[in-house]
Amino acid sequence: MKTLSGRSKAYKIFSVILLVLLALFFLFPLYWIVTGAFKPAADIYAKEPVWWPSEWVTTNFDNLFNKRTAPLWELAVPFSSYFAGKPVYFSVGPTVPAAFRWLVNTVFMAVTAMIFTCITAAMAGYALAKKRFRGRGILFALIVCAMALPKQVILIPLLKEMGALKLMNNLWAVIFPTIGWPFGVFLMKQFSESIPGEILEAARVDGSSELRTFTTIVVPMVKPGIGALAIFTFINSWNDYFMQLIMLTGGSQFTIALGIATLQAETSIDMGLLMAGAALASIPIIIIFLIFQKYFTQGITMGAVKG
C-alpha cells in the first residue's frame, strides 16, 4: 500500500512539473509577441534571438501605424454607386492607421456574423425540432452532411458567386458564408428538442401566434444554446483566415489577421513590425476572452454536449 501511494505521489509531482513546463511552452508565443513588439531594431535584427528587450520602445508600433492609412469608417449612401457612378459618402471617418480600421472591420465582421447566425439558427433549429413540416428529414440530412465540408472545397464557386453579387472585397462576402454554415442550425435543433411539447401546445390553445410563441417561450428556453453558439461563431469568424484571404483584396477592407498576413508577405523581414501587428491582433481578443472566460468555457462545453 505504502509503495503504491509513494509511486502515485511521485507521479503527481512529475505530472505537475510537466504541466508547468507545457504551460510555459504554450505561453511562449504570446510572451514573444508582447516582448517582440517593444524591442528596438537592434534586438530584432540580432543574429541571436534576444530574450528580453534591451530597451522598451514603441518604434515598431510607429512603423506599423505609419505604413498604411485608411479612413476609420466610411458611410456611403446605399446603392449610390448605381445612380452616381461612384459611391457618395455622407460620412467618412478621419484617416487613421489602417491597423485600427482592420480591428474595427474584424469586430464588425465577427459580431455581425454572430448576431445573424444566432437569430437564423435559433429559428431554424426550433422549426427542425418542433415543426412536423414535410421535407424536414431531407433538410436535416443535408445539414448534417454539409457540416463536415471543408470551405476550400466550395471556394471557387463562392468566389464566382460573390463576384456576380458584386460583393468582392466586401466584409459581407465573409459574413454570409459564415451565417450559412449549418453547425448553428444543428446545435440549436439539439437544444430545441428539450422544449416540452405541452408548453407549445398550451401556448397555441391560448391563441398565441407562432412568432409570439417563439420569442416568449422558445427563446428563453434555448438561451444557453444561443450563448454557446454566439461564442462559437465569434471565435470561428474571428479566426477564419481562409475566407478573408480569398474574399478581401483591398487594404481598407482587411481584417486584422489578413492585415498581419499581408504585412508578413510584404516585409517578411521586419519582424518587429510583425510582432507589433500580432500583438494588436491578439491582445484585444485575449482580453475579451479573459473577461468572459466563464462564458467561453460554458459555451464550448454546452455546444459539445448537445452537438
Partner 1 sequence: MKRSKLVSLLLAGSMLLGLAACGGGSTTTPAPAESKAAEPAQSQAAEPAADTEITLWTYPIGNWGVEAEVNKLMDQFKADTGITVKVEYLAYADGDDKVNAALSAKSAPDLIMEGPERLVANWGAAGHMVDLSDMIDDTDKKEINAACLTACTTADGKVYEYPVVMTAHCMAINKQAFEAADALQYVDLENHTWTTENFIKAVEALSVKFDDVGAVYCKGQGGDQGTRALVNNLYGGTFTNAEHTAYTWDDPLNIKALEQLKSMKGINFDASLAGGDEIAKFYQGALQMAFCWNIAQQLNPNAANTGAEKTVTGDDIVFMSFPSENGESKLQGGIWGFGIFDNGDQAKIDAAKTFIKYFADSEHTVDAVKTANYFAARSAAEGTDLSGIWADNEIMNEYNKLMPYLGDYYQVTKGWAQARTEWWTMLQEVGKGADVGTVVAQYAGNANAAAK
Partner 2 sequence: MAKQPKQTMSRALQRREDIAGYLFMLPSLIFFLGFVIIPMFMCIGMSFTDANLNAKTATTFVGLTNFINLWQDAVFLDALKNTFLLVVVTVPAVTLFSLWVSSAIYKMKMPVLSTFRCIFYLPVVTGSVAVTVVWKWIFDNYTGILNTALKGMGLIEKNINWLGTDGIAIWCIILIMFTTYVGQPIVLYVSALGNVDQGLVEAAQVDGATDLQVFWKIKWPQIMPTTLYIVVITTINTFQCFALIQLLTEGGSGTNTVMFYIYRMAFKLTEQGGHFGYANAMGVVLAIFIAILSAIQFKLGEEK
Q: Under rule CB under 8 A, which residues in 100-119 are in contact with partner 2?
A: 116, 119
Which of the choices partner 2, partner 1, none does residue 292 contact, using the CB cut-off of 5 to 8 A by kind?
partner 1
- 77 and 89 in contact (C-beta within 8 Å)? yes
Would you count residue 68 as binding partner 1 (CB under 8 A)? yes
Name which position in 31, 45, 241, 242 contacts partner 1 (CB under 8 A): 45
Would you count residue 54 as binding partner 2 (CB under 8 A)? no
Would you count residue 85 as binding partner 1 (CB under 8 A)? yes
Beta-strand relationship, 89-92 and 95-97 = unpaired
Site for partner 2 in 18-37 (CB under 8 A): 19, 22-23, 25-30, 32-33, 36
Site for partner 1 in 197-256 (CB under 8 A): 245-246, 249-253
| CB-nearer residue toward partner 1: 117 or 213 | 117
Which of the choices partner 2, partner 1, none does residue 181 contact, using the CB cut-off of 5 to 8 A by kind?
partner 2
Which residues contact partner 1 (rule: CB under 8 A)?
Answer: 41-42, 45, 47, 66-69, 72-76, 78-83, 85-87, 89, 91, 93, 101, 104-105, 107-109, 111-112, 115, 156, 159-160, 162-164, 166-172, 245-246, 249-253, 262, 264-270, 292, 295
